Structure 1
């Protein structure tokens, strides 16, 4: 028997935390173009990032999710939550970075940083309404 971990096939979901889920929904839907596909008011809103491969952004209200599940919960998800700004990065083609910057600025989103990494790949940083650090990056940053 090997001590090596079994293979992983990718990232399925990422989570950010926000107390104001309505503001989060407006931002991720109206500014970032992601469609919500599941919402529980006061608890969470989930957005599909891509279908193939399946990638999902989960936005949770930590006040709701840090509580343990009820003993009879249908889905006994363990408690979780975070306080303070998180980070989430979306891949954007190098050719679309200028379009994204213009799109964000046209919607009043302040650009926190826009630079090229030592290998030439570019990242743009800004904040969502919950103060999470959001990055749009050319995937070549890790190439």
Structure 2
């Protein structure tokens, strides 16, 4: 049986020890708009129809009851990874912006398909990638 088609990734999540330090990075340095503020998570607009969830580590392991149903508990130990999509012409401006904001570039990778990725750490050691196409065979402009 063939599964129905996927429409992309709606949410990506990272877990942090300090929501305010994370906010200083994701809003202050990266420029994401915070859409939801809570005791255990912040949600950021990460592009058209895409959301970055930043959870307070240790605050989401138990199920959470809401008026609409139960959200199953989840958590993560150690650093996570995710990538922001950027345009090829924005690789060097992003490099300059990050370095100018005091964020060290951990690594730069030139991919066989021609794309470039910049890797940095957020305040909790999560690996944040800024990826310009093409990295994967399914890339479409």
| Fold match by TM threshold 0.5 | yes
Equivalent of residue 96 in structure 2, options 91, 102, 107: 102
Q: CA deviation at 1:6?
A: 0.9
2:58 is the counterpart of 1:56: no
8 Å Cα contact 1:45-1:58 kept in structure 2: yes
Q: CA deviation at 1:44?
A: 0.3
Give TM-score, length-normalised by structure 1. Answer: 0.90
2:4 is the counterpart of 1:9: no
Q: Which has the higher helix share?
A: 1
- Per-residue CA deviations over 1:36-82 (Å, capped at 9, x if unaligned) read 010112x000000113xx00000111311012235xx4241000010
Unaligned runs of 5+ in 2: none
Larger Rg: 1
Q: What is residue 26 of structure 1 aligned with on the other side?
A: 24
Give TM-score, length-normalised by structure 2. Answer: 0.91
Q: Which stretches of structure 1, 4 residues or longer, exceed 2 Å deviation after superposition?
A: none
Q: What is residue 107 of structure 2 aligned with on the other side?
A: 113
Between Structure 1 and Structure 2, how many residues are aligned? 136
